[in-house]
Amino acid sequence: MRRRLARTLRDVPPPPRKAGFLDGAAAHLPKIAAGAGLSALSAAVLAAVSAINGCFPPCPDLALSLAERISVGGKVSASENVRLPFIPRGTRRIRFSYAKGDASYEGVSYTADPAVLSKYPPGSLCAVVLDAENPIRAALDSARPCPYPWWVSATAGAAMAAGGVLLALAIRSARATAAVLRDGAAATGTALACTIGRERFPPRIFRRVTIRYSFEDLSGRIISGKFTFRGCDVSGIPAPGAQIAVLYDEGRPHLNALWAEEEEANST
């Protein structure tokens, strides 16, 4: 696709112009991709931690520490190596059994501390700390009931929230840019610089042209801005100092954009 940049006010069609959300999103693609990528990656980490820890929310150690706890007797049944990403080498899973009332339960705890491991050889008696209201939630003293501590889930959740906020802000900016392209006022500006991005990957969306410019709004203030075209070739790129047509929101002139229309197939 090839588009021709509007160089004069006569080249800009009157509003409402044919512009949609994708036209605005193209100028904010890195922010949209960053927000979506951070949210997706954090959600995957949170889901993996939840599955490995065996519950959701994936913070059984935090839940147990906040609960009303009691101690009962138990017995260690097995101790085995655990290999999981981002946990200390030498971490072992200790399996144990215990009872509360007439019910018997089995639990696991994790630790990499040699001093703690020496206290729980298979077949030994042990003290089990459990939630008085939910006896299934239990752990050995000085050991965690899950391989990943609560702060891993908290960090992943915070990153997912941050990615969501970044994505929401990027989408709002894209909608604002689309509104400027569709209904913005036109002004004559001055081109300051132009950067043509190299196409390093096959998809055309990586092709980009960024133009920096300045213009004068209705109150006489000089506003600087930049606009990026993506996924297309742009003809009529101005040299620094050349005049250029700028679209902007009269109430918020910092929201501005450049207009380029698709050229006819037979144009040269």
Final residue before a domain boundary, out of 98, 114, 146: 146
Q: What is the pLDDT of residues 210-223, one digit of tens each?
A: 999 999 998 899 99
Residue 60 resides in a domain: no
Residues 199 and 255 placed together within one structural domain of the fold? yes
Give the torsion sign (CA, 107, 111, 117, 119).
negative
Residue 254 resides in a domain: yes
Residue 78 resides in a domain: yes
**Residue 55's pLDDT band (boundaries 50, 70, 90)?**
low
Q: What is the pLDDT of residues 29-54, one digit of tens each?
A: 889 999 999 999 999 999 998 888 87
Range of the domain at 173: 2-33+163-259
Q: What is the pLDDT, as a whole number, of residue 142?
A: 85
For residue 206, pLDDT beyond 70: no
Average pLDDT, integer, range 164-190: 95
**Integer Cα distance of 237 and 229 in angstroms:** 11
For residue 268, pLDDT beyond 50: no
Residues 170 and 248 placed together within one structural domain of the fold? yes
Residues 141 and 187 placed together within one structural domain of the fold? no
Residue 85 resides in a domain: yes
Residue 157 resides in a domain: no
Among 13-17, 78-82, 224-228, 230-234, the minimum mean pLDDT is found in 230-234
Domain total in the chain: 2
Residue 61 resides in a domain: no
Average pLDDT, integer, range 200-215: 73
Name the packing angle between helices 150-183 and 29-53 (round to 10°).
160
Give the torsion sign (CA, 164, 22, 242, 183).
negative
Residue 154 resides in a domain: no
CATH of the domain at 85: 2.40.50
Residues 174 and 207 placed together within one structural domain of the fold? yes
Residue 112 resides in a domain: yes
Residues 252 and 204 placed together within one structural domain of the fold? yes
Residues 134 and 167 placed together within one structural domain of the fold? no
Q: What is the pLDDT of residues 82-124, one digit of tens each?
A: 988 888 888 999 999 999 989 999 999 999 999 999 999 999 9
Q: What is the pLDDT, as a whole number, of residue 1?
A: 67
**Residue 56's pLDDT band (boundaries 50, 70, 90)?**
low
Residues 94 and 15 placed together within one structural domain of the fold? no
Residues 251 and 188 placed together within one structural domain of the fold? yes
Q: What is the pLDDT, as a whole number, of residue 58?
A: 65
Residues 132 and 167 placed together within one structural domain of the fold? no
Final residue before a domain boundary, out of 95, 120, 146: 146
What is the CB neighbour count within 10 angstroms for residue 263?
Answer: 17
